[in-house]
Each structure stands twice: as C-alpha cells, then as structure tokens.
Structure 1
C-alpha cells in the first residue's frame, strides 16, 4: 500500500464527504410551461433513481440548500423542496444570486459532513426562463393559467446595487453583456492579439464546447456548430457587444435543473453504494474581488479567479497535471480563457464537461450544478480528478472545487468561506472634456448590426481612471471607439481620444 493510501486509511470515514447521487432534467423538446420548483423536484427524483440502492437519501437529508431562482419567486424554496420530498432538514439555506454558489454550496456541504454537523446534504437548483418567457409571450398568467406557485409568486425582485456601483450605473455598466467584453478587449490587447485572431480563438473554443453539448443528454441546444458558424456575424448571430456575437453570449432562456446528494464515506458504504459510484469531494476554495469593477487594478486578468483555483490546488497538494477533467464557467469566452491560461492546461483538455452556457444552456445561478453532475459522471466513467470553477457577478465571486475518484489522503481539505481580496484601487475622476487614453471599451450594436453605443473605461491626462458612455444612437462616437473601424489594423485600446461631455454622456471629437 502506498503512503498516501496508508494515510487515507487513517482518516475517519464518517468525516470523508462523498457524492452518492446526482440528477438532472432538461425541458428541451418538451412543451413549455413547467415552473422551476417542478423542474427541481424532477431533478431530485432523478437523483434518487441515480442511486443504485433503495436508500431514500433525500428524505433522510438533514441539510437542503438551493441556488437562487431567478425565473419565479418562492418564500423559501429549500424548505419547499424538503416538504415535497418528505424531508425534515434542520439546516435549510437559500443562496443569494450568484453563479459561484453551486461550487460553494458543495464545499459547504462537504465541510459540514467533515465536521460532523451533517450526515446527508442535498444541493439543488433550476430555472424555467424558457417556460416563463413562453407564457408571457402567449399572454398567459403563470399562476392562473399555468398552475404555478403563488407563494409568493411573480418574478423575484432585486436591489439596484446588484447591477453594480453608482459609478458603474452612471457609466451604463450594468449588464454582463456590456461588462465582460471590457475584460475581453483588455486581455486581447495585453496578449498582443488583433481582433480577428482573438475572435478565431473564441470561435474555436466555443465550437469545441458545442461538440461536448451535443453529447450531453441534458443540454438545451445540443447541436455541434463549426467555428465559422459561431464566429461569423449574421442577422441570426448579430454582435451584441463587441467582440461577441450572440453565439458567444450565455443563453439563460432554458428549462433546466440539477440535484446533488452528499454524505459521508461511512454512510455510503453502510448503505451499500458500490465503490465505483462514490465520488470524493476533496474540497475547494473561493475568493471575492471588488464589487465595483472600476476599483479593479487590471481588466486583463482576474486575481480572485486565480486565487480561488490556486488555493484549491495547494490545499489538495496537487498540480495541474493531475487534472483530467476541468469545467470552467463560460458565460463569455473570456472566463475560460483567463482560467486556462493561468492554469496552463493543455489545449487537448477542453475546459467544459457540460458544453458551456451558450450550447448546453445557462440557467443563471445554478449552471455549475450541471458542471458538478457532469464531472461526477466523468469520474464514475474512469477519470481521476476534476476541477469545477464557478463564477458570479462580473468576474467578482469565484469558487473552485475538486472531485476525485479516490479518497484524498487528508480527507476533506476545503474551505467554503471565500477570501476577500482588497487591492489598492486606482485613482478615479469624473469625466470631463479633453483627451483620454482608452483602457478598455465595449461597443453595443443595434439590431440593424451597426455600432450604436460605447462604454468606455479610460485614463485621463493625470492617469486617473474615468468611465463614461456615449449617448444611445450616437453612431459616430460608437464607431470611433469600435474594434471594427474602417482600418482594422488600427488598435483602439491604448490610443488617445478627445471627448466632449454632453448631458452626462461623452461624444468623441477625434481619435489618434
């Protein structure tokens, strides 16, 4: 026996967290109209059927945690799921909004099992944005006409500060489709790539993702696409915000749900779960960056992402070479790009086991639950170690978790509480008439497929950061800041532009 296995054999099996059952459901190809809690219940039922034993894992759950549901409001979805499944948990947790929560909730469940606070934990989540959209389009009322829950019912509310800081909102930086391209453009510039070369990289990556999605029975689109199809703008694949066409944006209008059951190694063995069906939760790590993206020191990287992945690997005492499964959050191509470049994973290792948000589907805060369930299937199929990365906000909240086919020598080595990074923010200034050096920019296109509005982050003559937007429909200014100007060889990032301020917006007077 190796020293590692000798060490593992001394770990109390009641303190070793494992996944024993997973379930997923997708409404693709089915009539729309099902509400989120029904989808989640179906995923939980699928998890029960996934277990090779007759053990009623979910009814025995002492902990139930649910990811945030955006498509419909429930007063306490975790408690509601428990009632539906006959469970009486002492710990119920309804996570706030954020794509990082599936990995963090798994780490939380594993930590509670390792400490003896919990014996059986359930983590679930799902969305029914496709059904919700179809009901609204058909003029049907979900409660009256669809039988959806009225507890309390209706679309969930959110605070304005969830859109970003006051400075971000003033500059129009309030949606993912506008903000992630800011990181994309700065990364491209720092990597020394021209827009066409970088777009080709993104197209190749998402074409690989689509092949994965085609093989995933729970994907929403499920159709392999070529890089040319993904990367070529067209009326059906219009550019949303440069440089991303629609095919590189997350697809939230889906009906999908997933469920995971976590227990201890001792429980799994006592209840007769075959060794080949047990997947070990080694642990994870999280990190949070500044909520205000204008306080970030650099748009070309994500320090919080790097920290979350690095600390998870260090705690497990492994290197990247041990990973044979990697799934990185992929709401936009910049996220898996930053992760894989930092990790140094080989190009042969596609960083998705679901197929990504654009092809598999992007059920908002619960997407990475599907990444975890798919990784479990990969490990059951013979893979040895998986890293799942989950991201929330605007590259703000990160959590990574490691799964293994064998027990880690130290048992559980995770930490569900994220590190909070506090970098020194750059000096900032209000926008004024004058010359600005472009730090990064995002240009939104109209449905007529032309630049319509720009969102600029720049430095003034004193090196202070400035954020501003052009007026909607000021096509001349948007075109002046576009990646796709008349001369594509001219780089917009790092160049100087002269602007005038008009009613809180900027108008580009000239550019170098």
Structure 2
C-alpha cells in the first residue's frame, strides 16, 4: 500500500537562482513523502530504493547518493532504464515483494530538472563547477542507441517520439474511418480536458485551462510540430518535477502510526511489451501490449473499466488515450484522470507516472474507491497498469508484475521503390512554420513494408503527404493514409509524388 506521497515542482520561473539538481529535488520529494506518512523513521528503515531514469543530469549511482542523504542502508537499490512505463512497473514489483514478505518498506521515486539545465546552459553556467551539482559523472545523462529505436527506425528518421506518435494517429484515424479534421478534433478534445485537470493540480507546470479550439488552432505560439499535432498536443519535457512514494504492508503502516484513512491499497497490475522495432509490428494503428496490459490488470482486480472511479492514461500524445479509450470502451475524456498530461502537467520523461500515481492516491484519500493508472514506455512499446483502491482486495495482492510478450509478426521491411500505399505519414515543420521534412511508412503491392524520410526542404514531397494543403493554419484536407504514391529513392532519402 501507499502510505507516503511526495511531489515537488521547482524553478517554474526558469531562473539560474532557482535551479536545483535532480538529486536535491528527489530528496525534497522523499522528505515530503515521509512527512505525508507522519514521520521520517520509515526512511531509515528502507529495505529498497527504486528510482526511475533521470535524463537531465548523470549519476553513477543515484540510489546510493539518495540513501546516503537519507541515512538509510537499503539492501536493494535499483535505478531503472529509460521508460515511461517504469513507475507503474516499479510500484507493482515493490508491492509484490512486500506481499511476499521479502521487504517491509520500499521507496519508489524519480526526478528531472530539464528546465533548470536548459536555463543554465543558455546562461553559460556550469552546474557542477559553479553550483556544486554532483559530478560523478555529472552533465546530461547520455541516451544510448537502444533508447533511440532500431537502426531501421533511425535510417527512416522516425526514432523521435514527436514524429512517431502522430504517424500512429494518422493510421488509427484511417482505421476508424475518420477525416484528418476529426482525428485532430479528438486529440484537441482530450488535451483540453487534461488542461482542466492540470489546472486543479498544484504541481502542474502549465496550469492553464484551454478549450479544444485553442489546443487545435495553429498560430505562432502554437505552431505545428508534426502533423496533425501542434505544440499543445506535444509533451513538454523541459520541467523540474520530482515525486516519491513510500510503500509498505498494512501491518508496517500501523506500526508506524499511519492513519487508516491515509492508506491507499495497491491491488496490483500487469505489463506487456510489443516489438521494439516499430517497423516490424503487425499493425501501426493499435497496440497489442496495451490491450494485454488492460485485460490482465482488470481481470486480476475483478473490475470492468466502467466500474472504475478514475482512469488515468499516460498522455504524451493524443493517440495514447485515444487507443486506451477505444479499447476500454470509455468516452475519450474519461481517460483524463487526475494528473493533467504531459503538455499541461508537464512531461518529466520516465518519472511522469509517479505523479499520476500520487495524484490518483490523493483522489482515493478524498473518496474515490478505485483507480486504474496506466503508463507507456518507448514507442508504444512497453505498457504497465496498476489498480489502486481505498480498501484491500479480498485476495490481497493480485498483480502480475512480470511483463508479457505481446509482439505479433509484421510485414517484411524492404528497400523497394515505386508505387506504394501509405500506411502512416507525417510532415514536420520548422520554427518558422514551414514544412521541413516528411516521413513515410507504406506497403508495397506484395504486402512488404517500406519506410523513409525526405530530404530537408523537399517541398514537393511534403505537398504530396501533407494533411494541410492550404498550410497548417488552414483546415485539414483529405486523409493521406490509404493514398497511392510513388516513391523514388535518392541516396539515403526518398522523394514522394502522387501516383499517376
């Protein structure tokens, strides 16, 4: 169960003086969690510390540094790899160990300080030399090749989330028979709902309520990023945020004097993984891992989706809640939950769902009975969901923390050219609002798959693949997915023309 919940939002004004390194944000969040649990004695008795990956500053052993600050000597220290699914997975695993009697008190936490590192870099301030930030090794944490997608994804230019997720939404819209305007309106609707949630969350980075028209309207302050997503439909990773959760058994909580009405029970959850290389997946318009995760988490809890009081779906880009709502059979706005999404609440990379778990736990303390908290990692690659509740489950912990393999074989990837059928596409814009580059995944007449990106500044190819024939500030035109186009390979790039 969750007995201590702590969150921190730092340096919202983005000043050099307000900069705090992730370790300090993390320690502040942990102290807030201990105070929430009515005392700091738990921290000295920690059996395990599990931390999400920190990308904004590099540490050789962040769990050890945190343990030293807390005067704790946990037998288990874990720093998870990159992944937005990790908070739910780490909490589920901690709850399983506690239920099995392997541990008594565990800490799950994470922090990012990307807003501060960006400000310091622009000001020419060295965080280590000038501000005393930890220098073992210090500097921005490196992102390895495995975190950026497969060689095929890198070659096709789609190994950036801001490019991949809108491509999935174009494929989903086609599968649902939507027009591009309907796809964009659906995304704007859910992100508007998320902004209202964030406005009630004291730890939100952008607590400004926006209506769907404001989210969807392309203008200088809401420029198009990758069709069909303007800036307001993208994650905001340049934030300073941290969260910490203290997890114990009921007996241990009572020993430490935690009031019964502050205990939030972790019924357990489930996880699944899809093929890491998105170009090898069977269907770009869905997520078998997401479906498996929801099916198993809800079945173990003995709940149907419409019986839940709260559903908080990971919202880095609109297509994730769109997929979740459709599979769960819920209205899209019902997935907005209690956090606020990556655009309005803020997107502290791998630690975002720690804030979702904290927000949902507070809502349960306030009277909600059950909450499903979903987390997504990679390119719709790894999914995990956890059920929280006001009362213990009749069977105790019912989770399955080991992720299942949900991969399904897909088409063969080839280097063919010629006439193909568009499977997914997007056009990326520069900061001046001009088309910069187009990205394409398509199927040959033989059922094979091709992928590639155009040369920067190839306006003719962008016109062939754009959803906005009159420019991004105009109305969306006809769907691109399903259209026949002719692909010509020019070195490592492609040119795309309408099929004759």
Does the 8 Å CA contact 1:208/1:350 hold for their aligned counterparts?
no
Does the 8 Å CA contact 2:325/2:335 hold for their aligned counterparts?
no
Aligned residue number for residue 10 of structure 1? none
**How many Å separate the matches in 2 of 1:330 and 1:239?**
18
Q: CA deviation at 1:29?
A: 4.3
Q: Does 1:476 align with 2:460?
A: yes
Does the 8 Å CA contact 2:281/2:407 hold for their aligned counterparts?
no
Does the 8 Å CA contact 1:340/1:351 hold for their aligned counterparts?
no
**How many Å separate the matches in 2 of 1:465 and 1:177?**
21
Aligned residue number for residue 221 of structure 1? 206
Aligned residue number for residue 30 of structure 2? 44
Q: Does 1:509 align with 2:494?
A: no
Q: Does 1:120 align with 2:108?
A: no
Does the 8 Å CA contact 1:61/1:87 hold for their aligned counterparts?
yes
2:390 alignment partner, one of 402, 405, 418: 405
1:239 alignment partner, one of 210, 220, 224: 224
SS of equivalent residue, structure 2 residue 245: strand
**How many Å separate the matches in 2 of 1:491 and 1:391?**
27
Aligned residue number for residue 140 of structure 2? 155
Q: Does 1:490 align with 2:478?
A: yes
Q: CA deviation at 1:195?
A: 1.1
The normalised TM-score by structure 1 is 0.94
**How many Å separate the matches in 2 of 1:428 and 1:228?**
39
Does the 8 Å CA contact 1:483/1:492 hold for their aligned counterparts?
yes
CA deviations on 1:419-470 (whole Å, 9 max, x unpaired) are 01231221221132x1011011011112221322111000112121111111
Q: CA deviation at 1:390?
A: 0.5
SS of equivalent residue, structure 1 residue 228: helix
**How many Å separate the matches in 2 of 1:353 and 1:174?**
30
Q: CA deviation at 1:30?
A: 7.1
CA deviations on 1:60-108 (whole Å, 9 max, x unpaired) are 1110010000000111111111110111100000000000000000001
1:208 alignment partner, one of 193, 198, 202: 193
Aligned residue number for residue 435 of structure 1? 419
Aligned residue number for residue 488 of structure 2? 500
Does the 8 Å CA contact 1:435/1:460 hold for their aligned counterparts?
yes
Q: Does 1:414 align with 2:414?
A: no
1:388 alignment partner, one of 373, 394, 404: 373
SS of equivalent residue, structure 1 residue 72: coil
Q: Does 1:303 align with 2:288?
A: yes
Number of aligned residue pairs: 493
Aligned residue number for residue 326 of structure 2? 341
CA deviations on 1:389-440 (whole Å, 9 max, x unpaired) are 00110000110000010000000011211001231221221132x1011011
**How many Å separate the matches in 2 of 1:349 and 1:423?**
29
**How many Å separate the matches in 2 of 1:352 and 1:324?**
9
**How many Å separate the matches in 2 of 1:464 and 1:184?**
21
1:286 alignment partner, one of 242, 248, 271: 271
Q: Does 1:103 align with 2:96?
A: no
SS of equivalent residue, structure 1 residue 457: strand
The normalised TM-score by structure 2 is 0.96
**How many Å separate the matches in 1 of 2:476 and 2:75?**
60
Aligned residue number for residue 445 of structure 1? 429
Higher mean alpha-carbon deviation, 171-180 vs 417-426, is at: 417-426
**How many Å separate the matches in 2 of 1:508 and 1:349?**
39
**How many Å separate the matches in 1 of 2:371 and 2:119?**
36
CA deviations on 1:103-139 (whole Å, 9 max, x unpaired) are 0000010011011110000011010000000000001
Does the 8 Å CA contact 1:441/1:457 hold for their aligned counterparts?
yes
**How many Å separate the matches in 2 of 1:489 and 1:232?**
15
Q: CA deviation at 1:347?
A: 5.2
Q: CA deviation at 1:488?
A: 5.0
SS of equivalent residue, structure 1 residue 418: strand
CA deviations on 1:352-380 (whole Å, 9 max, x unpaired) are 31111000000000000000000110000
1:172-183 equivalence runs, <5 A: 172-183=157-168
**How many Å separate the matches in 2 of 1:272 and 1:504?**
64
Higher mean alpha-carbon deviation, 38-47 vs 24-33, is at: 24-33
SS of equivalent residue, structure 1 residue 337: helix
Q: CA deviation at 1:158?
A: 2.5
**How many Å separate the matches in 2 of 1:98 and 1:431?**
33
Does the 8 Å CA contact 1:280/1:405 hold for their aligned counterparts?
yes
1:35 alignment partner, one of 4, 21, 39: 21
- In structure 2, list runs of 5 or more residues that go unmatched: none
SS of equivalent residue, structure 1 residue 207: helix
Aligned residue number for residue 26 of structure 1? 9
1:312-331 equivalence runs, <5 A: 312-331=297-316
**How many Å separate the matches in 1 of 2:477 and 2:282?**
28
Q: CA deviation at 1:221?
A: 1.1
Aligned residue number for residue 353 of structure 2? 368
SS of equivalent residue, structure 2 residue 214: helix
Higher mean alpha-carbon deviation, 128-137 vs 437-446, is at: 437-446
Q: CA deviation at 1:348?
A: 6.0
1:455 alignment partner, one of 436, 439, 446: 439
- CA change 1:429–1:83 in 2 (3 A) is same
SS of equivalent residue, structure 1 residue 57: helix
Structure 1 vs Structure 2 CA RMSD: 1.4
CA deviations on 1:197-222 (whole Å, 9 max, x unpaired) are 22112112111111111110001111
Does the 8 Å CA contact 2:206/2:345 hold for their aligned counterparts?
yes
